[in-house]
C-alpha cells in the first residue's frame, strides 16, 4: 500500500455511486440474484460500519455491513467486499476486512455472517458454520456460509434462517 495517498474511512453518501460501480464491475447483474443480496435488498447498510478505500483520490475498495436477523437474534451480514481490479493483491481487501471486523466488535455486535471463500476470509476470524445451523434465504453452498464470532459463544448461539432485519 502507498501510505501517502491511501485513505480508509467510513462510507460517506458521496461514495455511493462509485461503490455501486465497483460492485457492478466485479459481479455484474448476477449480484442481484445472490442469496446475500436478498438479505440486503431494500435495507440500509450501516454506514458507520461500512468502509471505503481511496487511493490517490479514487475509490478503489469497499466493504459493507448490514444488520440481519438469524432466527430471533441480531447479527451483521458482510458484503459485498470489492476491490478495483487494478488494485487487487495489494492488501486493500485485507485492510477493509480488518477495519470492518474491528468496528463491528467495538460497536458491540456479536457476530458477522457472510457467504464467501473460507480460504480468503479465515484470516479475519471467519469460521465455517456447521451444515444446517444457519440457512440462507436462497441457494448457498453450505461450505461458503461463514461466521466471525465477536463474543464468546456466538458460534453456538446463532441458529436458524437468516432474514432481513427490517425494510426501510
Ligand atoms: C476478493 C477481493 C475482495 C480480495 O481483495 P484484495 O485486495 O485483492 O485482497 P488482498 O490483497 O487483501 O489479499 C490478496 C490475497 O488473497 C488471495 N485471494 C483473493 N481472492 C481469494 C479467494 N476468493 N479465495 C482465496 N484467496 C483469495 C489472493 O490470492 C492473495 O493471496 P496472497 O496474499 O497469498 O498473494 C478482490 O479480489 C475482489 O474484489 N474480487 C471480486 C469481488 C469478490 O469476489 N468479492 C468477494 C465476494 S465473496
Q: Is a pLDDT exceeding 90 seen at residue 29?
A: no
Nearest-CA residue for atom 9 of ligand 1:
93
Mode of pairing for the β-strands spanning 51-55 and 127-128: unpaired
Residue closest by Cα to atom 46 of ligand 1 = 81
Query: Ligand 1 centre and the CA of 144: distance in Å?
Result: 15
The CATH code of the domain at 6-164 is 3.40.630.30
Average pLDDT, the chain: 93
Location of C-alpha cell 487511493: 55
User: Percent of the chain at pLDDT above 90?
Assistant: 82
Cα of 38 from ligand 1 centre, angstroms: 23
Give the distance (Å) from ligand 1 centre to CA of residue 42.
27
- Please choose from 92, 93, 126 the residue to mutate so as to test ligand 1's pocket, defined by most ligand atoms within 8 A of CB: 93
> What pLDDT shows up at residue 55?
96
| 3 state SS of 102 | helix
Kindly tell me if the per-residue pLDDT of 168 is higher than 60.
Answer: no
* Nearest residue to 96 (alpha-carbon basis) of 54, 150, 41: 54
When pLDDT is cut at 50, 70 and 90, the band that residue 4 belongs to is: low
Residue in this structure with the C-alpha cell 501517502, named with its chain if needed: 4
Encode pLDDT of 107-133 as tens digits. 999 999 999 999 999 999 999 999 999
34-66: pLDDT as tens digits: 778 889 988 999 999 999 999 999 999 999 999
Q: Is the pLDDT of residue 3 over 80?
A: no
Domain positions in the chain: 6-164
Query: Does any ligand 1 atom lie closer than 6 A to the CB of residue 117?
Result: yes
**pLDDT number for residue 1:** 57
Strand partners, 145: 115
Q: What is the mean pLDDT of residues 22-31?
A: 84
Taking the CA of residue 119 as reference, the ligand 1 atom at the shortest distance is 25
pLDDT on residue 34: 77
- pLDDT of 143 higher than 80: yes
CA–centroid distance, residue 51 to ligand 1 (Å): 17
C-alpha cell at 25: 464491475
Amino acid at each position: 500500500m502507498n501510505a501517502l495517498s491511501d485513505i480508509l474511512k467510513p462510507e460517506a453518501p458521496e461514495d455511493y455511486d462509485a461503490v455501486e460501480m465497483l460492485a457492478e464491475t466485479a459481479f455484474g447483474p448476477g449480484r442481484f440474484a445472490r442469496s446475500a443480496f436478498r438479505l440486503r435488498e431494500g435495507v440500509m447498510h450501516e454506514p458507520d460500519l461500512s468502509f471505503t478505500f481511496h487511493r490517490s483520490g479514487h475509490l478503489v475498495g469497499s466493504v459493507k455491513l448490514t444488520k440481519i436477523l438469524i432466527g430471533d437474534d441480531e447479527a451483521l451480514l458482510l458484503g459485498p467486499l470489492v476491490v478495483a481490479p487494478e488494485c487487487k493483491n495489494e492488501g486493500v481487501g485485507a485492510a477493509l476486512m480488518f477495519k470492518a471486523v474491528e468496528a463491528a466488535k467495538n460497536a458491540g455486535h456479536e457476530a458477522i455472517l457472510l457467504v464467501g471463500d473460507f480460504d480468503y476470509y479465515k484470516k479475519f476470524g471467519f469460521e465455517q458454520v456447521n451444515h444446517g445451523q444457519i440457512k440462507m434465504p436462497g441457494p448457498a453452498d453450505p461450505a461458503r456460509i461463514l461466521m466471525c464470532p465477536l463474543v464468546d459463544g456466538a458460534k453456538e448461539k446463532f441458529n436458524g434462517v437468516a432474514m432481513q432485519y427490517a425494510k426501510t
